[in-house]
Amino acid sequence: MTTTLPDGSRVPAAVDIAAATPVEETMLPDDTARLRAAAAFVREHQSAATLLPLLLPGLHGPELRSLSAHCRFAHAGLLLFPPDPHHLRRQFADCGLDPDVPSHPSVVVRERLARRHGRDAAELNVRILRPHVHGPTGERRTVEVFALTVPAHSDLEPLAAYERVRGHEAHLAFELEHPDPLVLRGLCALLTRHGARPDGGGYNTHEDGTVLYFTTPAGTTCGYRRLELYAQGDHRDVLGTHLNESHSTHRHAETLLQLLTGAWTTQALAAFARLRLPEAMDTEVISTRELARRTGTHPESLGSLLRYLTMLDVVATGEEQQDAFRLTPLGRLLRADSHDTMRPLALMYAGPFYRSFAALDHTVRTGRPAFDHVFGENHFDHFAGDPALADMFDRSMAASARMFQPIPTHPVITAAARAGTPGTVVDVAGGNGELLGRILAAHPTLRGALLERPHAVEAARRSLDAMGCAARCDFLSGDFADVPHGGDVYVLSRVLHDWDDDRCGEILRHCARAMPVHADLLIVERLLPTDGSPSLATAWDLHMMCNVGGRERSAEHYARLLADAGLELLDRTPLPLDAHVLHARKAQVG
């Protein structure tokens, strides 16, 4: 069994940083053994000239001579976690080190531990001790020991377990013989050129010394992956540049890690919805154990999920009650009984579309939909053959229906409603009838006609019946070639992005042939930006390509398709969720 650590690596399950009980000490690297090994390393190894090539493979010749001429091997460092000061003294004595060496506060390591583990630095009393040892030719060196006292059963035990395994603070240090800012900058540049990555540092006011840490590249042969460059005095100008480079590296890595774990977010939201947790939470603050009882879930596992969802603002922790959570407005959108629920969308994106996106490389490589490759048939046929899946898809489409809110007040719709004779709105491939129902509900004088494939027509009939509009609507089963003639307003809502340009041209020509001269066409779609600005349309472009072989388009692209079908784009109006409604009519001849 293994456990995933915060940096993504895996270790034996005994090293469980989230465990509520202490980790067995015998399963972890022994502090005394680590201290003894560090002391032996310092005693046995020679100069900077022999050690630096072990840390930086490829460093040799004039550059190695320049580095070793300006700095000397000073110490090996490590972090220990004694249960009390007396225990640390015994460890020193067992390793042949002076047990009475003085200690000083560590600013740099304390801050690094606090950041790494999300702790308050004030509660981490890290001390530095530097017992002396002699090198192979008698030169004076030290073992730099950072000591954080961790009493038995302390809440710091998981931190200690993690650090013992990872050894983040273990390093080899090289001290500048004659500290000079120009020399220090040059040495930093030289180390970086040979693969050493800036990795933090700091200025210790207690000893007036500046520390610059680096992570060395893979392939080192001495057992240490971190290098410290130490300069006596205050060199915070050099340190500032070093920290900026360090933070930039970490920031990029952290950003990429967050992007790579996006799939976890999708599945966490879907699990939250599938387990009916939003409904069980209602509006109250509820303990994890009580929520687990209500939903038949495992309390500890449920707690992990809820903590993750807290980071997403889907739930929030109770202000006074420990291990308790409440539903946020964002989380309420996943309730099945919410009027504007997005639960079906969460289940679709974590279900069939999640599987198809795993084969996105197939689409990019071949130009063919990954959905067909994964499921063996196209998106529409696959859903038509599974009534439950088809229903969930229709409901997922309705989950984005807030983009429809302004459409019933569009001038074209209101003009048709005010006409002398009742106008007819034809919704082509109208899905479950959500949009047409909103239009008819807002304008009692209008009639409707909804064209859909047979499996969707009954769902649309039920939807409009629930909205009190079914009696004013004709429900037609058919394909795009069956667009009814004689309507006043034709609507294509989120239809054209399902298809390539050739098929879009056919659909628009079918509509143009059915439209009387006075009729209007409204097209609801997301529009790709032409200036590279962020847009939901860019994301949905990838989605359509992967799942149906369609695409999102710019307004200019739609204008060309309309013109080829004998239609003219008149204007476009923005809608919620980065959508637009395009207004077109038959092009004037002559």
Catalytic residues: 497
| Sequence-ordered list of residues with C-beta below 8 angstroms from that of 56, at least 6 positions apart, any chain | 191, 194, 195, 196, 216, 217, 220
Name the nearest CA neighbour of 524 among 560, 565, 449, 575: 575
Cβ atoms of 432 and 487 closer than 8 Å: no
Name the nearest CA neighbour of 560 among 505, 480, 481, 493: 505
Helix 48-55 with 61-70: angle, nearest 10 deg? 120
| Sequence-ordered list of residues with C-beta below 8 angstroms from that of 24, at least 6 positions apart, any chain | 14
Q: Which helix (H) or strand (E) covers residue 227, if one does? A: strand 226-232
HSE of 68, CA atoms in CB hemisphere, 13 A: 16
Find residue 142's DSSP bridge partners.
Answer: 75, 132
In the numeric block, the tokens 């392939």 are attached to 219
Name the nearest CA neighbour of 350 among 339, 334, 329, 327: 334
Q: How far apart are CA 224 and CA 66, in angstroms?
A: 22
Name the nearest CA neighbour of 77 among 109, 47, 110: 109
In the numeric block, the tokens 């009390």 are attached to 84
Q: Give me the count of residues in the chain.
A: 590
DSSP string of 158-211?
Answer: HHHHHHHHH-TT-EEEEEESS--HHHHHHHHHHHHHTTPEEEEEEEETTTTEEE
Q: Which helix (H) or strand (E) covers residue 542, if one does? A: helix 536-547
Produce one character per residue of 550-572: b if its CB has 16 or more CB atoms within 10 Å, e if not: bbbbebebbbebbeebebebeeb
Q: How far apart are CA 281 and CA 315, in angstroms?
A: 10
